[in-house]
Chain A
Amino acid sequence: DAGVIQSPRHEVTEMGQEVTLRCKPISGHDYLFWYRQTMMRGLELLIYFNNNVPIDDSGMPEDRFSAKMPNASFSTLKIQPSEPRDSAVYFCASTSTSGSREQYFGPGTRLTVT
């Protein structure tokens, strides 16, 4: 398997623009997680899905953030409008309930909002 795939790897945008981050989990994994990593706040869980259904989005910082999982092989995290404080590395991870609970992380998307 190719592992968790994220795109783009780097995104530079101006404040106020819409940003969409994409994730393809490992095939057969039934949990998908979105994280944000910054120096100040460390690794934060934003939202997670189970069988494509959002279960807990209490980590989403504001209404400007939204996430969808239209099918088992694709998820998006959208920020609209983006702000400089959204600059961070965003990770997608997946895991399987038939496995040993370890998380498989993608390479991340480094977002810079100017």
Chain B
Amino acid sequence: AQSVTQLDSQVPVFEEAPVELRCNYSSSVSVYLFWYVQYPNQGLQLLLKYLSGSTLVKGINGFEAEFNKSQTSFHLRKPSVHISDTAEYFCSLTGGGSYIPTFGRGTSLIVHP
């Protein structure tokens, strides 16, 4: 069985401040990890993904994430957030040969001016 835990349901932050959204996972097989963003009244869209290779992956809109196998984590970071980053963020994984994802509960990022 596999699982994804997003430790924070809500993260408030001021504009231009750095932010980290936490994601921990559990899986008995090798994993592929994803972060998706959902803006209000829209579907989820891919921010970034880790498939293999370098553990630091960069995505769209200045976001990056680091795969840490020993800590089973895939935290999302951005050095300076904008008001437009206010959205719901979902961490997801697929394991082994499966194409069926497991999603976390989501973290609501709220950027204040």
Residues of A bordering B, CB below 8 Å: 4, 31, 42-43, 45, 48, 50, 56, 91, 93, 95, 97, 100-108, 110
Contact = CB atoms under 8 A, between A and B. Distances in A.
Interface of B: 32, 34, 36, 41-46, 49, 51, 90, 92, 94, 99-101, 103, 105-106
Chain B, interface SS category: strand
A31 B49 contact: no
Given A42-B105, A103-B44, A108-B43, 20 more contacts: A31-B99, A42-B103, A42-B106, A48-B100, A50-B99, A91-B43, A91-B44, A93-B43, A93-B44, A95-B99, A100-B32, A100-B49, A101-B34, A101-B94, A101-B99, A102-B46, A102-B49, A103-B92, A103-B101, A106-B43
20 contacts: A43-B103, A45-B100, A50-B99, A91-B44, A95-B99, A100-B32, A100-B51, A101-B32, A101-B34, A101-B49, A101-B94, A102-B34, A103-B34, A103-B36, A103-B44, A104-B46, A105-B44, A106-B43, A107-B43, A108-B43
Contacts of B45: 105
Contacts of B105: 42
Contacts of B44: 91, 93, 103, 105
A31 B99 CA distance: 8
A88 to B, nearest CB: 14
User: Closest 3 interchain pairs by CB?
Assistant: A105-B43, A105-B44, A42-B105
Nearest to A99: B99
Contacts of B100: 45, 48, 56
B9 to A, nearest CB: 10
A72 B100 CA distance: 18
Contacts of A97: 99
B49 A43 contact: no
A24 B107 CA distance: 29
Contacts of A104: 46
A48 B102 CA distance: 13
